[in-house]
Structure 1
């Protein structure tokens, strides 16, 4: 990574209109949040794509979307439900192809329960990976074909290595690791997981995408950076040891605070 990385942000198209000057002033990576709902993916989303293309005229950063995730588990053992999950992933990739987007966020299947219980079952961990392969097989092939990366984001993951093992099991350039700093900090504070910078180190150069949000170690806050207790210097020092140039995406609950988060990192001398 460069000594002073340029951070991007996740937002809806409405907020892209608000922050368009900010997002175009530097090659900031962008993640669109308008395509996570089933109603959108089942409907006519082409007008949203056309609106995005108009707003992105002049954008120099990398572009991606947050994929569908509500009610979805890519390791669901029910084959009928797994088929719907696979369908949603393919629908998200159709949007990526139409946009020219090169990443889509997919949520990790690993829960806190899994961490404490999978080893109590014969081939418990292997079965999770096998179910993920069955659900994601077509999506991985489609992602390879269109040059898009499926980045697997930690949600409840207590062991940061689980997602790395899962991503590597596909043996595909289209499957990589994502890190959400607030999710990792929640897991650290509430379930005894390692600190956020250890999640970076565990992923290594498999890490291709990061959601930057601040939190208190108790809940998934998505606060503006600097409002919580994440040690940002340690996180960016760990990121600086990578050569994979992950997309650094600010992901906040209050999207009006994106400029404040960028300013906070700049004041710390960590990013711009």
Structure 2
């Protein structure tokens, strides 16, 4: 049985060092430059053009991490929602220019929400409506350019929340992402289920995974093997999916991407 091929999250600065590794198996790549507001408001096309030249010959699946700093996608304030919509549309502009077919955005669910969202009967429905108001134009654009939007868990304590949200947005171009380190933090620090439960709960709505290890206390973005995530259980759950999620090593130190990949390969889980 073939093993999944690992990809990585890299930036314009770190792509050159890993170019050969990417091309040898045509690995999936997530570009991590176009969530920056200063770049999106500046000459992002020059940066994107430089990246396209760097990736000459790369035929793996390409994605970007979309904007997320300083906002949530469920803001109560219509003026803020307009700003969020604009930022995410800027991200999709960059995705289209690059030929990227996936953009990561952040889940709105907080640890506070887990205890308080059901305090009033309309809260969940109202949250969905606010997200729809924020993302309506974004989803329409994503559908037009063929770019999937995936919602990544951040503080999510209940892995079902963002899966239900993604389904409520009623688009084939909206799916979910799993960040293994965020899930492990939520498990150990806030009482969420273990990481493999996040995979099982998402099922084939899961089309993107950030692979990073943690101690469950903070968002470490360590290479797999440095923390306490049970990787065998995680990959066993991934192996039951038919959605073929992109498996992206998202590490704080991009120099350790191949070290992390080697650890998972040594466990017999991936290539």
- TM range, smaller chain: over 0.9
- How far does residue 122 in structure 1 lie from its aligned partner after superposition? 2.9
Partner of 2:243: 244
State whether residues 9 and 258 of structure 1, in contact with CA within 8 Å, keep that contact through their aligned partners in structure 2: yes
Q: After TM superposition, where is structure 1 displaced by more than 2 Å over at least 4 residues in a row?
A: none
Deviation at 1:150, TM superposition (A): 0.4
For structure 1, list consecutive stretches of 5 or more residues without a partner in the other structure: none
CA contact (8 A) 1:154 1:180 kept: yes
> Which residue pairs with 1:117 in the alignment?
116
Partner of residue 43, structure 2: 44
Deviations 1:186-221 (A, max 9, x none): 000000000000000000000000000000111111
What is the Cα deviation at residue 27 of structure 1? 1.8
Partner of 1:94: 93
Over the aligned positions, Cα root-mean-square deviation in angstroms equals 0.7
Q: TM (normalized to structure 1)?
A: 0.98
Instruction: Provide the secondary structure at the position in 1 that maps to 2:139.
Output: helix
3-state SS of 1:61 partner:
coil
Question: Please, what TM-score do these two structures have when normalized by structure 2?
Answer: 0.99
In structure 2, the partner of 1:144 is 143
Provide the secondary structure at the position in 1 that maps to 2:262. helix
Match of residue 28 from structure 2: 29
Q: Contact 1:8/1:29 (CA < 8 Å) preserved in 2? A: yes
- Match runs of 1:205-216 below 5 Å: 205-216=204-215
Contiguous gaps of at least 5 residues in structure 2: none
Matched residue pairs, number? 271
Aligned match of 1:135: 134
* Alpha-carbon separation, structure 2, partners of 1:182 and 1:3: 25
Structure 1 residue 33: deviation in Å?
A: 0.5
1:14 positional shift: 1.0
- For 1:53 and 1:255, how far apart are their aligned partners in 2? 19
> Structure 2: how far apart are the matches of 1:237 and 1:16?
29
In 1, the alpha carbon distance for the partners of 2:60 and 2:68 equals 24
Matches of 1:72 and 1:32, distance apart in 2: 20
Structure 1 residue 48: Cα displacement: 0.9
